[in-house]
């Protein structure tokens, strides 16, 4: 395992970050097994763990908190806020009112007195960004949070957040967590350069494109049981299946071409996909999200894989730099894309 500085902070994190989204009823409901996975990751050299309050409605944070007892000081612990956990109208977003409640709830579930990296899970287009940054700054000054970050922010909002923090003399986002994989490369155009210019760390999510870049989804075959696109399965996400995804044919074509490239390089497709993300100079640490111990062992085996320029050039032929494959959504929720904001009122 290798380590890199998290942006311009003095903190070193492992080049693999253990993502805890699959810990809890949404993924692996066996708490003891999840804790074993966490301990195995730490023993392998991972010192960076990322969770969120909305993962399994707080269950993931509780699992992570129990697993880190006795090892808390050895781990850079990250969590996120934004999404609603209940039906209360104001229990969501980036308002000061919600933030002071959300952080206390996360600290309680995690069983710790501070969160090393507290991230805004999505942009809140309905709340003044300066209100959010001021509230986060207060949490830093109170010692409840060490650093703050963003997730799925577009390049312009990343820059605006840096300027707002500078104007007000407050804490700035030191890290961005975007979607990035061979399938989702549009952030190479503006978002990653913006993060580099402002000295931000970058910790991508979904480097395997929801499992597509493991090769487990194959043309004319049913999705494996337990996968997120398996029909009639508790793991299925929002009723989606490979058969109903209109972008599936394009993805199958790309996976077949990428598998050939990986085979010629002597690598499993999963390892090539993870290594691809880490090759970009803006990337600090790649989030891996295992649900089982065998998945973790496979992902750990990719930690030190590097790709030759010829392999990277071949990947560029399949998905060109700065572009996305069909069906990718970056989930910023930007209201500027809504019809009412793209057309003059009549």
Q: How far is residue 16's CA from residue 13's CA, in Å, rounded to a whole number?
A: 8
Q: How far is residue 158's CA from residue 152's CA, in Å, rounded to a whole number?
A: 10
333: Cβ contacts below 8 Å, ≥ 6 apart: 122, 123, 125
Query: Which sign, positive or negative, has the C-alpha torsion 61, 67, 73, 75?
Result: negative
55, 98, 147, 180: the catalytic one is 55
R_g of the chain, CA atoms, integer Å: 20
Beta-bridge partner residues of 119: 80, 149
163: Cβ contacts below 8 Å, ≥ 6 apart: none
Residue 50, φ and ψ in degrees, nearest 5: -120, 125
- Give me the helices (H) in 74-148, please: 96-110, 129-141
In the residue annotation, 55 being an active-site residue is answered as yes
- Are 151 and 177 a contacting pair, CB within 8 Å? yes
Cite the active site residues: 55
């Amino acid at each position: 395992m290798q380590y890199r500085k998290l942006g311009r902070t003095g903190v070193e994190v492992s080049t693999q970050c253990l993502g805890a989204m699959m810990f809890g009823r949404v993924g692996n409901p066996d708490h003891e097994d999840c804790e074993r996975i966490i301990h195995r990751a730490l023993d392998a050299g991972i010192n960076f763990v990322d969770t969120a309050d909305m993962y399994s409605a707080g269950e993931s944070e509780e699992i992570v908190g129990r697993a880190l007892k006795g090892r808390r000081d050895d781990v850079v612990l990250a969590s996120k806020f934004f999404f609603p956990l209940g039906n209360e109208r104001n229990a969501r977003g980036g308002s000061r009112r919600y933030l002071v409640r959300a952080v206390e709830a996360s600290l309680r579930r995690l069983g710790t007195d501070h969160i090393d990296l507290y991230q805004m899970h999505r942009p809140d287009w309905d709340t003044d960004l300066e209100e959010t940054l001021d509230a986060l700054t207060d949490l830093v000054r109170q010692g409840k949070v060490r650093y703050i970050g963003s997730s799925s922010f577009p390049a312009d909002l990343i820059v605006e957040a840096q300027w707002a923090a500078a104007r007000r003399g407050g804490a700035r986002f030191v890290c961005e967590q975007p979607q990035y994989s061979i399938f989702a490369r549009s952030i190479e155009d503006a978002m990653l350069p913006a993060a580099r210019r402002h000295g931000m760390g970058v910790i991508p999510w979904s480097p395997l494109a929801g499992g597509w870049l493991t090769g487990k989804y194959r043309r004319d075959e049913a999705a494996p049981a337990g996968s997120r696109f398996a029909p009639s399965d508790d793991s299925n996400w929002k009723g989606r299946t490979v058969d109903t995804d209109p972008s599936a044919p394009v993805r199958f074509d790309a996976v077949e071409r990428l598998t050939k490239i990986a085979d010629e390089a002597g690598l499993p497709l999963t390892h090539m996909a993870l290594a691809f993300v880490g090759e970009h100079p803006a990337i600090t640490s790649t989030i891996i999200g295992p649900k089982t111990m065998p998945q973790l062992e496979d992902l750990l085996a990719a930690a030190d894989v590097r790709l030759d320029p010829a392999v990277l050039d071949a990947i560029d032929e399949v998905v060109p730099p700065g572009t996305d494959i069909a069906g990718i959504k970056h989930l910023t929720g930007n209201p500027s894309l809504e019809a009412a904001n793209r057309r003059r009122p009549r």
